[in-house]
Amino acid sequence: MDTKELLKKVRKIEIKTRRLSDHIFGGEYHSTFKGKGMTFSEVRQYQFGDDVRNIDWNVTARYNEPFVKVFEEERELTMMLMVDVSGSEMFGTDTQFKNEVVTEIAATLAFSATQNNDKIGLILFSDKVELYIPPKKGRSHVLRIIRELIEFEPESKQTNLAEALKFMQNVMKKKAIVFVLSDFIADDYNQTMKIVSGKHDVTGIRVYDKREEDIPNLGVVQMQDEESGEYMLVNTSSKKVRLNYAKFYQEKVDYYRESFTKSGAGTIDCRVDESYVKKMLGYFKRRG
């Protein structure tokens, strides 16, 4: 992809997702995840040099001596976007590929965090961490994240969510808001999830295509595993083959939901041919 085409794509995504974050998600994000501000902490007796504007007149009248309100500054929040860039993310049968929807969701979240004056970081992962962009503020930083989401080419097509979660835990020493965007066709990460969710506010966003849920009866067809690259002939007219695949797929989905919910993390399911806006708004409102 040449530079002109890339910039055009980045601009297109910015216009769409910034509009969503400005008019829809900004307020919802702010009410769900507390942002920067001054919050009331306690009252104490007035001391020489205190700002008289902070005098609590009700408490002062009750005790007949001056008391002031004490405020503390909330810590600025950090959002970490963890995005699966393995081979299966390139799948799509309807209007968009999964990775295109993931890019839009990530951009919308990033602009919502920017409105809240939060930092945003990015981890792109396959079976290893492919790219890490440390958290930072500002529009230009978000645009860099979008560019990477559009044009980054991973070295591996495999998936290892546990390794990515361990990396995030190591680099993020303070509590962060973590969104994991993937199809979650993975396993062996539930123990790591428990550890990570004990420290961070984690949400899994599963992006999937309806054609992944079951195999249609098309006779004998050649298929390719997007992660291994292996080609194979599959007899889709066999009911047993179709049932086995559906069972395999559902087991992965169940594992994802159980791993996240039991560790206290949130989940959102977004199908590529449905509105992710409604799904995310519903999630924010339930949490808020």
Lowest-pLDDT range of 59-63, 93-97, 256-260: 93-97
For 197, phi then psi, to 5°, come to -70, -20
Indicate the CATH number of 3-32+76-287 among 3.40.50.720, 3.40.50.410, 3.40.50.300, 3.30.70.1230.
Answer: 3.40.50.410
pLDDT at 6: 81
pLDDT of residue 152 exceeding 70: yes
In angstroms, rounded to a whole number, what is the distance separating the alpha carbons of residues 154 and 229?
14
Of 23 and 214, the structure prediction assigns the larger pLDDT to 214
SS3 212: helix
Torsion over CA: 225, 107, 139, 10 (sign): positive
Instruction: Work out the pLDDT band at 91, boundaries 50, 70, 90.
Output: low
* Cα three-residue angle 198-200-201, rounded to 5 degrees: 110
pLDDT of residue 31 exceeding 80: no
pLDDT of residue 75 exceeding 60: no
- Token pair 């997007």 is at which residue? 226
What would the two tokens of residue 276 be? 């992710």
User: Mean pLDDT highest for which of 40-54, 112-126, 226-240, 256-270?
Assistant: 256-270
In angstroms, rounded to a whole number, what is the distance separating the alpha carbons of residues 207 and 271?
6
pLDDT of residue 163 exceeding 90: yes
In angstroms, rounded to a whole number, what is the distance separating the alpha carbons of residues 38 and 263?
31
Q: Boundaries of CATH 3.40.50.410 in the chain?
A: 3-32+76-287
Alpha helical stretches, state H, the chain: 3-20, 26-32, 57-63, 98-115, 139-151, 161-171, 190-197, 239-262, 276-287
Which residue type does 137 have? K
pLDDT at 170: 94
pLDDT at 36: 45
> How much of the chain exceeds pLDDT 90, in percent?
48
Lowest-pLDDT range of 53-57, 81-85, 133-137, 262-266: 53-57
Mean pLDDT over 250-273 rounds to: 95
Q: For residue 219, is it left (φ>0), alpha (ψ between -120 and 50) or beta?
A: left
Distance separating the N- and C-terminal Cα atoms of the chain: 41
Residue whose C-alpha is closest to residue 250's, from 269, 224, 275: 269
pLDDT at 20: 82
- Note the pTM of the prediction, 2 decimals: 0.79
User: Mean pLDDT for the chain?
Assistant: 86
Burial of 111 (0-12, 13-18, 19+ CB in 10 A): buried
pLDDT of residue 18 exceeding 90: no
